[in-house]
Chains A and B, each alone.
Chain A
Amino acid sequence: MRIWLSQHARTLAATLARLVRSPVASLLNVGVIGVALALPVGFHVGLANLQAFASELAAAPQLSLFLALEASASDVAQIDQRLKRHSGVRKYHYISREQALREIKTSTGLADVVESLSHNPLPDAFVVDASDGASQTLEALRDEFKRWPKVAHVQLDSAWAQRLEAVLKLGRLAVLMLGALLAFALIAVTFNTIRLQILTQREEIEIAKLIGATNPFIRRPFLYFGALLGLAGGGAAWLIVLGGVYLLNDGLSDLSRLYGVPLRLHPLTAQDSLSLLLFSAWLGWFGARLSVGRHLSELEFR
């Protein structure tokens, strides 16, 4: 066991030394892998942020009831009564047309436009929180409210969130496909790198086999090399994504000031970072394994 551990430690040290000995080639390899991985990872980060943003907004689906413009105060009171008695309504509040106009004036910077209006174009409205968030219930409620007198329009606020969710699903699929393609590219890169190494060390491998080296012993340094290459590439991808998020956040802070909404991209979570590193190391190992397996069998005992 101690011998086994020390052999592994020695191989690791020798592999690191080999990576350092040819810094340009190593950096180029790591760079290629890093860029290839940064693409799907970057997209993933973008999607994750969009998703978080969307779910924040769509957490509590609401229905907005817009009354007809000619609705009177008694109409409003009647609907208020109906909502109060309705079992599917958890809570609701009323926004009068005057209140809505005031809010627009103060919050959106459209004061000039609002001032210039000769009359209030906004209807009275109720904002309803349903007791059940399932989309079927919400749709049933919408259809029911629509039939009430003096209700001009019912809007289901979660509809756009659902659409966004569908788009995000499509995006995630695209990221997955891109990731699979680029993972293949990573395997190809390590396969080729290891192939070249085996060719240059062919003599050494042959001699080692002649004097009693087992196949695992011969494979080990190449597998370490592949895994380290993948790991370093994953690290590079991580840095690229981190840098990208940092730069974008700089730009976003301007944008969020202009819109008055806090916009901020979150970088990769610790768990995602760890999976990225492990996965890229595994890919490198796998590419090396394929390459070594293929080229060692050419040197087999006849």
Chain B
Amino acid sequence: MKTWFNPFIKSECLRTRARLTSYLDCELSDKEQQELKLHLKSCQSCCEEYNSLRQTISLLQHMPEIRSEHTFRIDEKNVTKKTCDRKLLILSRTAAVVAIILVLVCIGDLGHLFTPTGDSPLGGQFWLVRGVELGLLVALIVLISCILVELHRQRKR
């Protein structure tokens, strides 16, 4: 019974057409591939759709390949220099931030902001402040040494 208005047939065709590309690429399960294959054998219009999609893909595949006259390469010297420059930039920025914090803490310390007897709410943090100052100083020395080593390496190159 071939009836174009049969809702079952129509939905079957719609379902098939929605999966035709996957069918062409063999990206369906074995069961689904088999179902579609059977449907295509029995349905003329779906078969035409299938052939037209196949032709479209074939046309795309036969498009000529593009070739460039340029050869893409990463330039070793440039890359190394850029990496070193970036490293130096990060190191010097971090050193600058650490130095600023250290200066601020030292100013606060000189202004008796952290003294135990002061009226300041930060009073009583004396040893903690000394520890922070020392830590910042060590970090700053390490960072400056790293910058000097990096500069020395660059000069060697």
A and B from one complex: no
